[in-house]
């Protein structure tokens, strides 16, 4: 092996444990790369964050992302395995989804999925969100782009907790964040908001997209989109079952206090219709998805210590 090749390999080696490969995603301050564990050859996704470009707000979001992902360990949530800190970079070692994201999947189905398939994926998203809310974590950026397919397991998993936050039941949050097409009216108005309720709105938008193949609020420009959201103006095609339409109408509701709760969504007649879907993801499938890096978890104190040193 030439010295140039060895130097290149060393530059792509993280903490002596992961060999970085192709870039599979980009953001403002980070890139996501495919990587392999040196000893097990298990594929992982590595989010590489350039700390030199982070302002105080970005650091706060990063801190929340790590803390919330550490709290939420569920079969339908992308797992954060570990955090590696260097002087200029922070590496988040994440579970790798081999099937792309749900947005691309929906775009390949111009008229939406059949309701049985949509229900199977929707249930998985609801189970992930229910666990998050039970841990008092709200996602605040639910959208198909943040749902990753794991084809070998036949499931979808929630990812990208960059806008997530912990909440106290009954206490409203103030920070406006998320993606316009999926944002609840109270977020756009800058009002204090109930954290679970804004996730329910976004969940309703996702279900709309699953069964129609398009977003309910996607106008020619942002101003028009905002007006449509504030007016709660959307239309479902007649081929959608009345039960599914009813569920969507109870989630995409202008007044947050009139929106269905997640428990009500998961008790809905459409949600509970019998399919071939296994209601519970096998715990063993979750364990099998973990690389042999370590089945141990990093303590919250360790994560906090790393981030405080940034």
pLDDT at res. 58: 85
Element (H, E) at 149: strand 147-150
Which residues make up each annotated binding site for ATP? 47
What's 45's domain CATH number? 3.30.200.20
Judgement on whether residues 58 and 196 belong to the same structural domain of the protein = no
Domain hosting residue 63, numbered range? 6-97
Judgement on whether residues 142 and 19 belong to the same structural domain of the protein = no
Q: Strands 137-138, 89-95: parallel, antiparallel or unpaired by DSSP?
A: unpaired
- Strand arrangement of the beta sheet that strand 30-37 belongs to: 13-14, 18-26, 30-37, 43-50, 89-95, 80-85
pLDDT at res. 191: 94
> What is the torsional sign of CA 64, 69, 70, 71?
positive
Write down the catalytic residue from 50, 101, 141, 283. Answer: 141
Judgement on whether residues 106 and 91 belong to the same structural domain of the protein = no
Q: Is 141 known to be catalytic?
A: yes
Q: Is the pLDDT of residue 38 over 60?
A: yes
Answer with the one of 97, 112, 130 that is the final residue of a domain.
Answer: 97
Among 140, 183, 134, which Cα is nearest to 162's? 140
- Interval 200-209 mean pLDDT: 98
Judgement on whether residues 62 and 142 belong to the same structural domain of the protein = no
DSSP string computed for 237-302:
-TTS-HHHHHHHHHHS-SSGGGSPPHHHHHTSTTTT---S--SS--HHHHHHTS-TT-SS---HHH
Q: Is the pLDDT of residue 53 over 70?
A: yes
DSSP 171: P
Q: pLDDT digit string (tens) for 178-203? A: 899 999 999 999 999 999 999 999 99
The number of beta carbons lying within 10 Å of the beta carbon of residue 299 is 10
Judgement on whether residues 86 and 114 belong to the same structural domain of the protein = no
Which residues make up each annotated binding site? 47
Percent of the chain whose pLDDT exceeds 70: 84
Do 84 and 294 form a contact (C-beta atoms < 8 A)?
A: no
Do 237 and 245 form a contact (C-beta atoms < 8 A)?
A: no
Lowest mean pLDDT among 20-29, 141-150, 245-254, 264-273: 20-29
pLDDT at res. 244: 98
pLDDT at res. 291: 45
Answer with the one of 266, 281, 302 that is the final residue of a domain.
Answer: 266
User: Has residue 307 been placed in a domain?
Assistant: no
d(CA 299, CA 103): 33
Answer with the one of 59, 78, 97 that is the final residue of a domain.
Answer: 97
pLDDT at res. 308: 54
- Which residue would you say has higher pLDDT here, 15 or 231? 231
Q: pLDDT digit string (tens) for 56-96? A: 888 888 888 888 888 888 999 999 999 988 888 899 999 99
Cα atoms in the Cβ-side hemisphere of radius 13 Å centred on 283: 0
Lowest mean pLDDT among 15-24, 173-182, 208-217, 295-304: 295-304
Q: Is the pLDDT of residue 298 over 70?
A: no
Q: Is the pLDDT of residue 9 over 50?
A: no
Q: Is the pLDDT of residue 208 over 80?
A: yes
pLDDT at res. 108: 92
- Which residue would you say has higher pLDDT here, 269 or 62? 269
> What is the torsional sign of CA 158, 159, 164, 168?
positive
pLDDT at res. 302: 56
Judgement on whether residues 150 and 254 belong to the same structural domain of the protein = yes
d(CA 124, CA 77): 10
**Going by C-beta distance under 8 Å and a sequence separation of 6 or more, which residues neighbour residue 80?**
66, 69, 70, 92, 93, 94, 95
Dihedral of the CA atoms 111, 112, 116, 119 (nearest 10)? Answer: -160
pTM confidence score: 0.84
User: Has residue 296 been placed in a domain?
Assistant: no
pLDDT at res. 2: 47
Q: Domain count for the chain, please give it.
A: 2
Q: Is the pLDDT of residue 303 over 60?
A: no
Exposure string of 95-112, with b = 16+ CB inside 10 Å and e = fewer, is: bbbebebbeebbeebeeb
User: Has residue 128 been placed in a domain?
Assistant: yes
- Which residue would you say has higher pLDDT here, 254 or 4? 254
d(CA 140, CA 255): 17
- Which residue would you say has higher pLDDT here, 246 or 9? 246
**Going by C-beta distance under 8 Å and a sequence separation of 6 or more, which residues neighbour residue 119?**
270, 271, 273, 275, 277
User: Has residue 155 been placed in a domain?
Assistant: yes
pLDDT at res. 5: 39
What's 235's domain CATH number? 1.10.510.10
């Amino acid at each position: 092996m030439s010295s140039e090749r060895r130097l290149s390999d060393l530059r792509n080696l993280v903490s002596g444990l992961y060999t970085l490969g192709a870039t599979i995603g980009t953001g403002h301050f980070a890139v996501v790369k495919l990587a392999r564990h040196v000893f097990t050859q298990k594929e992982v996704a590595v989010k590489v964050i350039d700390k030199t470009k982070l302002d105080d707000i970005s650091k706060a979001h990063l801190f929340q992302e790590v803390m919330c992902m550490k709290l939420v360990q569920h079969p339908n949530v992308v797992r954060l395995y570990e955090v590696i800190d260097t002087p200029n970079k922070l590496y988040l070692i994440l579970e790798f989804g081999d099937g792309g994201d749900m947005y691309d999947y929906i775009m390949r189905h111009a008229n939406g999925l059949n309701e049985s398939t949509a229900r199977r994926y929707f249930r998985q998203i609801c189970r992930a969100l229910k666990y998050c809310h039970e841990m008092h974590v709200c996602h605040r950026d639910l959208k198909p782009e943040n749902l990753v397919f794991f084809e070998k397991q036949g499931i979808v998993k929630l990812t990208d907790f960059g806008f997530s936050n912990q909440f106290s039941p009954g206490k409203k949050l103030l920070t406006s964040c998320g993606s316009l097409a999926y944002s609840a009216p109270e977020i756009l108005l800058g009002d204090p908001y109930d954290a679970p309720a804004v996730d329910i709105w976004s969940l309703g938008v996702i279900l709309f997209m699953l069964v129609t193949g398009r977003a309910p609020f996607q106008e020619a420009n942002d101003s028009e989109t905002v007006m449509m959201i504030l007016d709660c103006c959307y239309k479902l095609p007649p081929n959608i079952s009345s039960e599914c339409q009813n569920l969507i109408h109870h989630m995409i509701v202008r007044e947050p206090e009139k929106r269905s709760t997640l428990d009500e969504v998961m008790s809905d007649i459409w949600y509970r219709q019998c399919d071939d879907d296994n209601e519970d993801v096998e715990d063993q499938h979750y364990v099998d998805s973990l690389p042999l890096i370590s089945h141990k978890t990093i303590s919250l104190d360790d994560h906090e210590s790393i981030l405080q040193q940034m």
